[in-house]
Structure 1
Amino acid sequence: MPGMNKRPYDDRDRGQAYKKQKHDDRHSHDKHPGHARPQHRDDRDNRQQGAKQSLTHDEAIARLPPPTTALGPVPSYTPFTVPAALPPLPDVQDGSLTTAPFRHKSTANYNRSSNADDVTYEKLEFLGDAYLELLASRLLYARFPNLLAGQQSQLRELLVKNETLAEYARAYSFDKRVQVGDMERMMQDAKDRGNKGFNKILGDVFEAYVAAVVLSDHEEGFAVAEKWMTALWAPKLLEAAEKERYFTPSHSLQHADHTSNPLKTYSPTAKAELQKRVLAGPGAKLEYEPYQKSIELKGDQLGQNRHFIGVYLTGYGYEKKLLGKGEGKNKVEAGNWAATEAMHGEAKAVVQECEEKLKIAREERQRQKEAKEDAQVKKE
């Protein structure tokens, strides 16, 4: 539309002046403390090697599994190029909402009747919270469709919790833009409640900004916010997904060597596949049992449990032979990881041996069946 500011997500011709400004903006992040890139932990293998750095946002979004579920069309706009440090902050197109995400109700002569239309971050964060839940849900539903609902919920909580949003708010220097009538008292209240109190404030401000981005452009606002948050969430989501070895069946997460590793690819049918490969003969059985007590996790995963399950084979000349171990948020997940290790880990030769014996036994049964049928025909 004429007169509207161009956004970093727009693919329309901007001319050389905009390209120069975009180049300058990219490098300006390093000049301001508030624009420091978020730090993400290297995975265990990288720490052991001591050589590789955390993924940048553009690298992480390139390594996310591609969407496997269509969620409906959104208005056309360019899939923007993500800088190495931080995705560009979308503009708030509506001038009346430019400062609203940072304005506390105490900055105006506020009362519930006369100023009910005042837009403050308290009002906007209500809507922004819902948008972020929806954006995170769409991202996980489209790119990790085979996760259990509980697993998707846990990942979504990681993406939308106050600590995560406060981290992003600081990265964009939102903490320097908050407007409060009595900032000193508000900061003291937050200090009294610990870092969690100030994180709540910054989390609300970030939610409010997301709402302002969507509301300020009725045609493209939601699409712009979705592209922005997908890029912003990508490193954190990829780190969590690789840590938990989440996957999509047809597009497994690729690791440093760019090869698919079956030991790092979760299959919800692993137990059934193992059973099909080794169980058929009389006396043969697989048993899934805990090899250590479950534990309750802490930190970001507070309230979640970790289960430890081993799979043991009896039959084919073995007695309670340990084939594999697995860990998971529940016994089913841990059992599937144990079966995966059985088929692709150190004991895979045992599984292959049993499978071969099973094949021979089946062929022998088939031969005996055919011989019996031939004898019956001759007798008749």
Structure 2
Amino acid sequence: MNKRSYGDDRPQPQHKRQKHEDHGHGHKASPQHSNRYGRPDDRHRPTNHTSSYEEALSQLPQSTTTLPPVAAYTPFTVSKSLPPLPDVDDPVLATAPFRHKSTTTSYNRSRTDRASEVTYEKLEFLGDAQLEHIASRLLYTHFPHLTAGQMSQLRELLVKNETLAEYARLYGFDNRVQVQELERMLENTKDKAGNKGFNKVLGDVFEAYVAAVVLSHGDEGFAVAEKWMQALWAPKLVEAAGRERYFTPGLKLVHDEAGVDPLKTYNAAGKAELQKKVLGGVGVKLDYEVYKKGVELRGDQLGQNKHFIAVYLTGYGYVRKLLGKGEGKNKVEAGNWAAQEAMYGESKGIVEECARQLETTREQKRKEREAKEAVEKEKVAEKEKVAEKD
């Protein structure tokens, strides 16, 4: 993983998942949004998602794959609001997630050996891997229809630093963290990107707390953490599945049959359905082409791309008639959205008329084929009668 904790000047290994960190740049919190220590005020914590955690959890698709259990789930109540924070009974582990090694009595930047005290730097290393594992199990079992690449994108949304920092603030971790020179770090965050340095710290602290939960609950520790994180992630995952337009059977928010809007519901078979409606006539074709250069997304979609595809019809008296446009995280998805717009958008009438003409043509061909077959049968019957007379 390509990241380093605040104050750590040791070389770090590279990892495909990168987390943002900027200890010297960011946006200084405005006075009305922070307390006297420069930390976010409780009154301005992120609000809950539109769906309650309980509702969102119930809306996830049913698991279709059985994995060997890590440990049986322990009894755990899922609240309609923020899921309760699992307890950490071990007195050392209870405080370690909030303490950076720079605050320990034995800390010395020039030392090459590790300090003896347990700090969030050590726990974060373990918690990071555990969160990746929990997120992977959740996506693998509940979203088996997605490709490995799609699951990787959704997992990144769940475990990236901005998401974890958001959760840390919801649980008040920002008021418990202990990092030497934190005030100086906050004062130095001047750019418009926000307080990336402090977000980095909060993300690490949250990962450390996950590790503390796993370690403090013995054999059931992983199960406790997994149950907690599944409930905590559910609203964000449901929201992302709708916003990113993943085709997700069983996701009630997206595929509720009552009042569903086809222009807002992803259809993985959109291109196939449009082809079935209009292709078949002589000289008829559909062309899917890029109409705008793809872009790399920012913010909570960092690392993902958006592609733009348009579909054109040639045939039925039209030459490269634009039927619809679509956007998606890849060209296939964008093409399906373009097909969906063609069938249900402004060009709906054109597609339906082409479909009627195609059906008429097919019906005529069917009648011609049946008539020809009837003639052939009559000829065969005549030959059989002649053969019987002979």
Q: What TM-score bracket applies, with the shorter chain setting the length? A: 0.7 to 0.9
- 1:146 paired with 2:145, answer yes
The aligned residue for residue 164 of structure 1 is: 163
- 1:94 paired with 2:102, answer no
Residue 67 of structure 2, aligned match among 65, 71, 76? 71
Distance in 2, Cα, partners of 1:337 & 1:252: 20
CA deviation digits over 1:59-90, x for unaligned, max 9? 33333344343334441433523142x21100
Task: State which drifts further: 186-195 or 210-219.
Answer: 186-195
Tell me the CA shift for residue 247 of structure 1.
3.2
Change (3 A) 1:258 1:109: farther
The aligned residue for residue 129 of structure 2 is: 130
- Aligned residues: percent identity? 63
Give the secondary structure class of the aligned counterpart of 1:237.
helix
The aligned residue for residue 179 of structure 1 is: 178
Tell me the CA shift for residue 286 of structure 1.
0.6
Superposition CA RMSD, Å = 3.0
- How many residue pairs match? The answer is 333
The aligned residue for residue 233 of structure 2 is: 233
- 1:119 paired with 2:118, answer yes
- 1:56 paired with 2:64, answer no
**Contact 1:66–1:251 under 8 Å retained in 2:** no
Distance in 2, Cα, partners of 1:135 & 1:123: 19
Distance in 2, Cα, partners of 1:374 & 1:254: 50
Tell me the CA shift for residue 198 of structure 1.
1.4
Distance in 1, Cα, partners of 2:250 & 2:175: 45
Tell me the CA shift for residue 131 of structure 1.
1.1
**Contact 1:166–1:203 under 8 Å retained in 2:** yes
Q: Which has the higher contact order (CA 8 A, sep 6+)?
A: 2
Give the secondary structure class of the aligned counterpart of 1:263.
coil
- 1:289 paired with 2:289, answer yes
Distance in 1, Cα, partners of 2:164 & 2:304: 21
1:264-275 equivalent positions in 2, closer than 5 A: 264-275=264-275
Change (3 A) 1:114 1:248: closer
The aligned residue for residue 261 of structure 1 is: 261
Change (3 A) 1:156 1:356: same
Distance in 1, Cα, partners of 2:178 & 2:373: 89
- 1:314 paired with 2:311, answer no
**Contact 1:165–1:203 under 8 Å retained in 2:** yes
Change (3 A) 1:340 1:57: same
Tell me the CA shift for residue 310 of structure 1.
1.6
Change (3 A) 1:34 1:356: same
The aligned residue for residue 387 of structure 2 is: none
Change (3 A) 1:302 1:37: closer
- Residue type of the alignment partner of 1:133: E
Tell me the CA shift for residue 256 of structure 1.
9.5
CA deviation digits over 1:250-290, x for unaligned, max 9? 44534899643332222322212221222111101111123
Change (3 A) 1:359 1:306: same
Change (3 A) 1:68 1:353: farther
Distance in 2, Cα, partners of 1:334 & 1:346: 18
The aligned residue for residue 334 of structure 2 is: 334
Distance in 1, Cα, partners of 2:285 & 2:304: 31
Change (3 A) 1:142 1:228: same
**Unmatched 5+ residue regions in structure 2?**
1-39, 384-390
Task: State which drifts further: 54-63 or 219-228.
Answer: 54-63
**Unmatched 5+ residue regions in structure 1?**
1-31, 42-53
**Contact 1:304–1:329 under 8 Å retained in 2:** yes
TM-score, normalised with respect to structure 2 = 0.75
Change (3 A) 1:132 1:36: farther
- 1:105 paired with 2:101, answer yes
1:171-210 equivalent positions in 2, closer than 5 A: 171-180=170-179, 183=180, 185-189=181-185, 191-192=187-188, 195-210=195-210
Task: State which drifts further: 64-73 or 200-209.
Answer: 64-73
Change (3 A) 1:371 1:340: same
Residue 47 of structure 2, aligned match among 39, 45, 54? 39
CA deviation digits over 1:8-27, x for unaligned, max 9? xxxxxxxxxxxxxxxxxxxx
**Contact 1:278–1:351 under 8 Å retained in 2:** yes
Tell me the CA shift for residue 207 of structure 1.
0.3
Distance in 1, Cα, partners of 2:105 & 2:308: 56
Give the secondary structure class of the aligned counterpart of 1:264.
coil
**Contact 2:101–2:115 under 8 Å retained in 1:** no
